[in-house]
Amino acid sequence: MPEIWFPHLGIEINHLNRVAFTIFGKEVYWYGIFIGTAVLLGLLLAMHEAKRTGQDPDTYLDFALYALVFAIICARLYYVAFSWDNYKDNLIKIFATREGGLAIYGGVIGGVLTALVYSKIKKINFWQLADTAAPSLVLGQVLGRWGNFFNREAFGDFTNNLFAMRYQLSQVRLGDISDNTLSQLQMVNGVEYIQVHPTFLYESLWNLGVLALLIFVSRRKKFHGEIAGLYFLGYGLGRVWIEGLRTDQLRWGGFAVSQVLSAIFIVAAAAFLVWKGRQEKLVLKSMEGENSVENEEKQED
């Protein structure tokens, strides 16, 4: 029987191990390979965009070295903070990152904070830096979600829609499975399957659309900050509904933390884009007025 199965699409997958290979006795996971590939491709994309826009590509190589470290630290701290019950009695587990537990939003926050400090120290425009890095960030999120697929994680509740995905029950962490999904186990030739929303796939495809939008607009952008604002708006819009489908949410006070944060980013990004857009129009009108006066003076002379 297949290990992973999309019954309505006729796709069956076997022999999909979360471990890619072993080196010097240490297991190397596909998740890490996807993240590493995402970092490399994201860096190349940012350096290409920097060159296209007249910036120094080496700035982004330098920035990436700092951003990667602090993004990982913040991704871990974010996860631990909202899963504190799992760590409060054994604090050493906080450092056991090989057991999993990195939150994307924590990484995003860490990257933004690094960009703020870096741009201040290097005396470069923060919003231009953010615009150049944003497509690379969402590219990383497109690829990173496939690491979740190999890990059999980041899935949703029971569904029977076109994209319904089946995992063998024995290969999934029980803590990630909702009671509703367990009550609707699929038994096929003696093998128990859960049938769920492939939310990793939804988010990967959504982010691919966001990436296409950012690249398209970057060739036509009207002000610094526009691409970064569109990233937070676009990513937030996708995450706010996809997060609602997931069964492994980080929660605080009864709320799904990432869902709330997504809603905040949507509102903040929309407000920022409207405000900056109006500012840009005022600047253009002012410039047009000055040019008109100059032309009239020249005609009089």
Sequence ranges of the binding site:
145
**What are φ and ψ of residue 195, in 5° steps?**
-120, 115
8 A C-beta contact, residue 196 and residue 167: yes
Classify the phi-psi angles of 123: left when phi > 0, otherwise alpha if psi is within -120 to 50, otherwise beta. Answer: left
Measured at the alpha carbon of residue 247, what is the angle toward residues 246 and 251, in degrees to the nearest 5? 95
Q: How far is the C-alpha of 248 from the C-alpha of 108, rounded, in Å?
A: 19
Q: Is 82:100 a contact under the CB 8 Å cutoff?
A: no
Question: Cα–Cα distance between 217 and 225 in angstroms, integer?
Answer: 12
User: Which element (helix H / strand E) includes 6?
Assistant: strand 4-6
Spatial distance between the Cα atoms of 186 and 168, rounded to a whole number of angstroms: 9
- Nearest Cα to Cα of residue 140 among 68, 219, 230, 218: 68
